[in-house]
Amino acid sequence: MIRKFRIGNPIPTDSVVKEIPVTQDNLPYFEKNDEAKVLTFSLNKEDKVYGLGETVRGMNKRGWLYTSNNSDDPNHTENKHSLYASQNFFVVFSNARQFGVYVDTPGKVSFDIGYTSYDKLSISFEDFDADIYNVEGEGVMDIVSQFRGIIGRSYIPPKWAFGFGQSRWSYMTADEVREVADKYQEAGIPLDMIYLDIDYMERYKDFTIDENSFPEFPKFVEEMKARGIHLVPIIDAGVKNEDGYDVYEEGVEKDYFVKKENGENLVAAVWPGKVHFPDFLNDEARAWFGNKYKVLMDQGIDGFWNDMNEPAIFYTEDHLNEVFEKLDDYKGKNLDIKSFFEFKDLVGSIDNYPEDYKRFYHDYKGMKIRHDKVHNLFGYNMTRAAGEAFEKLSPDKRILMFSRSSYIGMHRYGGIWHGDNQSWWSHLLLNIQQMPAVNMCGFLYTGADIGGFGSDTTEDLLLRWTAFGIFTPLFRNHSAMGTRRQELYRFDAVDVFKNFVRLRYALIPYLYSEFMKAALGDKMLFKPLCFEYKDERSAQVEDQLLLGESIMLAPVYTQNASGRYVYLPEDMKLVRFHAFDDYDEEVMSAGDHYVKAELNEILVFVRKGRVLPLAKPENGINTKDSDMSFICYEADPDSYELYTDDGISRI
Ligand code: GLC
């Protein structure tokens, strides 16, 4: 049962697609403090809180303060409160009670989950205007499914998007891309996608191609497709200000960019220098921008990633002027404790400056709304622009799309990647822990930058991360400019990587079937153990996952470990893969075990009465899976329901 309560006069977000009337009942569980703009309730000692999507820290969110305020912050450390996403759905549960809460409000909102006081959960609002949905059900899975039922079906990518993708900021020329494809081919590692980062564009202008470094682009796209590789270009939120650039000129002429109070287009800066931001919240501007993807689709492109759409702002022209003016005050001064830090703050305040988000306005549903009031909807509507356009531009075929910034609702139009992580062991764990939380909020096609985006990766980290990444729907190795190159063929362990990636391809029938069942049935693909096992120990486990109906994962995420402790909530069959066709099986009893896992091994635990199908891996994703075999633990292989379709037609 889902009830909707209204506080104040909320700005609609279009995240919920099912009509639910507002009830006049009192909001259950919460005490409401209008003056403080806070909702509070008491947590019991046993209560666990799961959800909130792509955030910092562990699976059980209790013990920290999370703020929904989409932020371009590449340091996903424990002290942070906000990342790129606002996914305001969570479930509170213990054996005694369970309920879900969705806080639908497009502005800043904070969830103090036992942070200020361990036995209190409070939600504080900048504007006390929100629709609060209360979800009651038979257990946590039922609550999640009901919630998913009201926000609409999750985005389904083409099947080839379940292949392996290689990315780098940036492959600078077509020849460099060819070299990546060649090297993967030589190494015998399947590859379905190569990502094009910002340097494929002409001076960082969306929907353009640098003709010098990527000559005859449509031919190049075709050539790569003939090799089974889809090129996936990035699209950024900011539109370069440059005379003669059609997207800029049309946007100015038609008034499709966000405006300052005085009616002038906001001038901000990102990669190309000065840009305007399209007003994605405006229906007409959204349709206009969405239609621009056609420029690349006409050249054979069938997948995209949307970036910098929090939006990230290097500076606004206005704030930069303010800073330059104030800098003079400090010239030639003996900077002391106070003035030095003021000066440092002034210079450090230039990018993603909070006040800049109050300088511009949207024309949203006939209202002029200051950006900060609807900040968390920006990336969502950029991706919606693409998604809505794809329905018209490609009515038959699915298009790959994922975004950095998100809000619930966007899950209908695209997936997400988990932003600019680092080549840190702790970020491998964070990747593991974020998976179920984003699934709860409808985001199924997701994955993190494998190997880590920032910092230099190491072979062992990349091995362990790839060993986990083979299970995530978006399976992409990506890294930042200036960091160690991390294409898999560059490492001594290239043959181990080959076995891992080929195992991924062998798992496709399972991963795709479970993904489709989750998408079509409003289910989760990744679950914490305690979503299915009711024992108290399962609720303590923060580093193992159930994936689909058949298997449990216990990834190794620490340096120099040759194994780990694994908790088995019931008897399971451990399958120790060295390759898709080289594995050992061992039935293990419920309880705690220390399990060996060398760097060249991937562990999969098959649940009792369940089946894990495997196919013979090919060099790319096939619509038909061939040479199927089945690993069963006290189960009949026929009991597994494979999902098959052509992998490309819209559903
Ligand atoms: C942002 C993206 C990253 C990309 C870079 C350059 O940092 O998150 O993935 O490589 O911009 O486009």
Question: What are the DSSP calls for 515-573, one per residue?
Answer: HHHHHHHT--SEE-GGGT--SHHHHH--S-EEETTTEEE----STT-SEEEEEESS-EE
Tokens of 132: 């609060």
For residues 443-470, give the mean pLDDT: 98
The DSSP element (H or E) to which 178 belongs, if any, is helix 174-187
DSSP alpha helices (H): ranges in 271-419?
Answer: 283-297, 317-330, 337-348, 378-393
Q: Rounded to the nearest whole angstrom, what is the distance from the C-alpha of residue 558 to the centroid of ligand 1?
A: 26
Tokens of 288: 């206009």
Distance CA 115, CA 89 (A): 18
- Which residues does 254 contact at the CB level (< 8 Å), separation at least 6? 284, 285, 288
* Residue 305 alpha carbon, nearest atom of ligand 1: 9
Are the C-beta atoms of 573 and 606 separated by less than 8 Å?
yes
Phi/psi at 365 (nearest 5 deg)?
A: 50, 45
Phi/psi at 363 (nearest 5 deg)?
A: -105, 90
- Which residues does 390 contact at the CB level (< 8 Å), separation at least 6? 290, 293, 399, 401
Quote the pLDDT of residue 626.
Answer: 81
Distance CA 69, CA 108 (A): 5
Percent of the chain scoring above 70 in pLDDT:
100
Quote the pLDDT of residue 622.
Answer: 84
* Residue 236 alpha carbon, nearest atom of ligand 1: 12
pLDDT in tens, 78-116: 999 999 999 999 999 998 999 999 999 999 999 999 999
Torsion sign, CA atoms 529, 534, 536, 537 = negative
Q: Rounded to the nearest whole angstrom, what is the distance from the C-alpha of residue 560 to the centroid of ligand 1?
A: 30
The two beta strands, 193-196 and 164-166, are parallel
Is 90 exceeded by the pLDDT of residue 624?
no
Quote the pLDDT of residue 625.
Answer: 81
Quote the pLDDT of residue 361.
Answer: 98
DSSP 301: -
**Protein residue with least CA distance to atom 7, ligand 1:** 420
HSE-CB at 415 with a 13 A cutoff on CA atoms is: 28
Distance CA 382, CA 384 (A): 5
For residues 297-312, give the mean pLDDT: 98
Quote the pLDDT of residue 115.
Answer: 98
> Beta partners for 630?
613
pLDDT band at 343 (very low <50, low <70, confident <90, very high): very high
Q: Rounded to the nearest whole angstrom, what is the distance from the C-alpha of residue 563 to the centroid of ligand 1?
A: 33
pLDDT band at 492 (very low <50, low <70, confident <90, very high): very high
Quote the pLDDT of residue 320.
Answer: 97
The conformational region for residue 91 under phi > 0 = left, psi -120 to 50 = alpha, else beta, is: beta
Distance CA 556, CA 464 (A): 6
Mutate to test the pocket of ligand 1, among 198, 271, 420, 474 (most ligand atoms within 8 A of CB): 420
Question: Which single residue is written with the structure tokens 């990506």?
Answer: 478
Is 90 exceeded by the pLDDT of residue 623?
no
3-state secondary structure 466-503: HHHHCCCCCEEECCCCCCCCCCHHHCCCHHHHHHHHHH
Quote the pLDDT of residue 114.
Answer: 98
For residues 296-304, give the mean pLDDT: 99
pLDDT in tens, 514-560: 999 999 999 999 999 999 999 999 999 999 999 999 999 999 999 99
pLDDT band at 190 (very low <50, low <70, confident <90, very high): very high
Is 80 exceeded by the pLDDT of residue 138?
yes
Is 80 exceeded by the pLDDT of residue 570?
yes
For residues 172-196, give the mean pLDDT: 98
Q: Rounded to the nearest whole angstrom, what is the distance from the C-alpha of residue 432 to the centroid of ligand 1?
A: 21
3-class DSSP state of 271: coil
Catalytic residues: 307, 310, 420
**Closest of 257, 249, 253, 261 to residue 279, by C-alpha:** 257
pLDDT band at 180 (very low <50, low <70, confident <90, very high): very high
pLDDT in tens, 493-505: 999 999 999 999 9
The DSSP element (H or E) to which 128 belongs, if any, is none
Mutate to test the pocket of ligand 1, among 83, 234, 422, 479 (most ligand atoms within 8 A of CB): 234
For residues 58-77, give the mean pLDDT: 97
From residue 52, alpha-carbon distances to 29, 55, 96 in Å are 19, 7, 22
Average pLDDT, the chain: 98
Which amino acid, 324? F
Q: Rounded to the nearest whole angstrom, what is the distance from the C-alpha of residue 425 to the centroid of ligand 1?
A: 20
Quote the pLDDT of residue 436.
Answer: 98
* Residue 453 alpha carbon, nearest atom of ligand 1: 9
Residues in the ligand 1 pocket, defined by CB under 6 Å: 169, 197-198, 234, 307, 404, 419-420, 478
pTM of the model: 0.98
For residues 415-435, give the mean pLDDT: 98
Quote the pLDDT of residue 526.
Answer: 99
The two beta strands, 315-316 and 193-196, are unpaired
**Protein residue with least CA distance to atom 10, ligand 1:** 169
